Amino acid sequence: RTVYVNGEYLPEADAKISIFDRGFLMADGVYEVTSVLGGKLIDFEGHALRLQRSLSELDMVEPLGRDELLEIHRELVRLNAIEDGMIYLQVTRGSAGDRDFVFPDPETTRPTVVLFTQDKPGMADTPVAKVGIKVISIDDIRWGRRDIKTVQLLYPSMGKMMAKAAGADDAWMVEDGQVTEGTSNNAYIVKGNKIITRELSSDILHGITRAAVLRFAREAQMEVEERSFTIDEAKQADEAFVTSASTFVMPVVEIDGAKIGTGAPGTVAPRLREIYLDESR
Ligand code: PDD
């Protein structure tokens, strides 16, 4: 695999980062995941804009312009012959050559930029989407700026492990009795003809897929309500689903062992998945 590190395209085995990189020592970095379908980047614009926002919220300098970023994404797709898959991008505050809590001087420290591809042939046609996934609920104990896409992913990672141990696929996180989001996706329920998902705030990541799916839903005359909901309400819903760059729209058929609706994907989530895939490809 060919990867990109700080201006160079290299075989992955030759890519090097300093052990003093603040991404490594302090999780002082942000990331984006953009999917590729049929060799085409999905929602690149949204991911580039959110990256810009994450960087600015953390007082990090933007290492590359939008056009350069797009060029690198395209070049990696080409070099690795990616039909379907993902591009992972990470920008860290870089290394000041020592460990220090204080941010290094942005004039003398350059951010570290890393991109690599993940090949996922046929990812849009995954059989999982036909049966849906099971989730458990866990406490949301993450920090208060979940709108910044930082690489602090230990708790989400632990959440996936808790789900796995419970025989489920993922976890929905709950704070003050309300669902915030999934470990790596936004969470939704459907009641009647209404799609309900938590409103945007610093409590959740502002999903790029979320924005697109809600726009398509409204265009298709579906009703959308942006508000928080409880696990109890979710268990009583007709359908549930999640969205993310890596899963698109994925039906959720069970929450904490309780079947949602019939326990099989309903009509709304599969329809949104189809619309999303059709419109973005
Ligand atoms: N995760 N919420 C969280 C906590 C996420 O980590 C993600 C994305 C989303 C969905 O955002 P988007 O639609 O922009 O992908 C919501 C990525 C895919 C990941 O960590 O792999």
CA pair distance 200, 221, nearest whole angstrom: 21
How many angstroms does the Cα of residue 4 sit away from the middle of ligand 1? 22
- The whole-number pLDDT of residue 28 equals 98
Q: Show the ligand 1 pocket: residues with CB < 6 angstroms.
A: 33, 181, 184-186, 205, 207-210, 243-246
| 149 given a catalytic annotation | yes
How many angstroms does the Cα of residue 184 sit away from the middle of ligand 1? 4
Average pLDDT value for residue range 31-56: 98
Average pLDDT value for residue range 104-133: 97
Strand partners, 258: 255
Q: Is there a contact between 198 and 233 (Cβ–Cβ < 8 Å)? A: no
- What is the number of H-type helices and E-type strands within the chain? 8, 15
Residue among 186, 197, 280 whose CB has most ligand 1 atoms within 8 A, to mutate: 186
3-state helix, strand, coil split of the chain in percent (to 5) is 30, 30, 40
**177 pLDDT above the threshold of 90:** yes
Question: Which two structure tokens, joined as six digits, stand for 269?
Answer: 């989530």
Please state the ipTM of this predicted complex.
0.99
Q: Is there a contact between 80 and 116 (Cβ–Cβ < 8 Å)? A: no
Residue of minimum CA distance from atom 2 in ligand 1 = 185
Domain residue ranges in the chain? 2-121, 128-280
How many angstroms does the Cα of residue 105 sit away from the middle of ligand 1? 30
Q: Is there a contact between 261 and 234 (Cβ–Cβ < 8 Å)? A: no
CA pair distance 183, 170, nearest whole angstrom: 7
Give the rounded distance of the alpha carbon of 91 from its chain centre. Answer: 16
% of the chain surpassing 70 pLDDT: 100
Q: Of all atoms in ligand 1, which is nearest to the CA of residue 31?
A: 20
Residue of minimum CA distance from atom 5 in ligand 1 = 184
Phi, psi (deg, nearest 5) at residue 210: -55, -50
Residue among 87, 138, 157, 244 whose CB has most ligand 1 atoms within 8 A, to mutate: 244
Say what the pTM is. Answer: 0.97
**85 pLDDT above the threshold of 90:** yes
For 128-280, the fitting CATH number among 3.30.70.3400, 3.30.1330.10, 3.60.20.10, 3.20.10.10 is 3.20.10.10
Of the pLDDT bands very low, low, confident and very high (cuts 50, 70, 90), residue 52 is very high
Give tens-digit pLDDT for 220-264: 999 999 999 999 999 999 999 999 999 999 999 999 999 999 999
- The whole-number pLDDT of residue 281 equals 87
Options 149, 164, 194, 259, the catalytic residue: 149
For 2-121, the fitting CATH number among 3.40.50.12160, 3.30.465.10, 3.40.50.1100, 3.30.470.10 is 3.30.470.10
**96 pLDDT above the threshold of 90:** no
* Backbone φ/ψ region at 127: left (φ over 0), alpha (ψ -120 to 50), beta: alpha
Of the pLDDT bands very low, low, confident and very high (cuts 50, 70, 90), residue 36 is very high
% of the chain surpassing 90 pLDDT: 99
Q: Of all atoms in ligand 1, which is nearest to the CA of residue 88?
A: 21
Summary mean pLDDT of the chain:
97
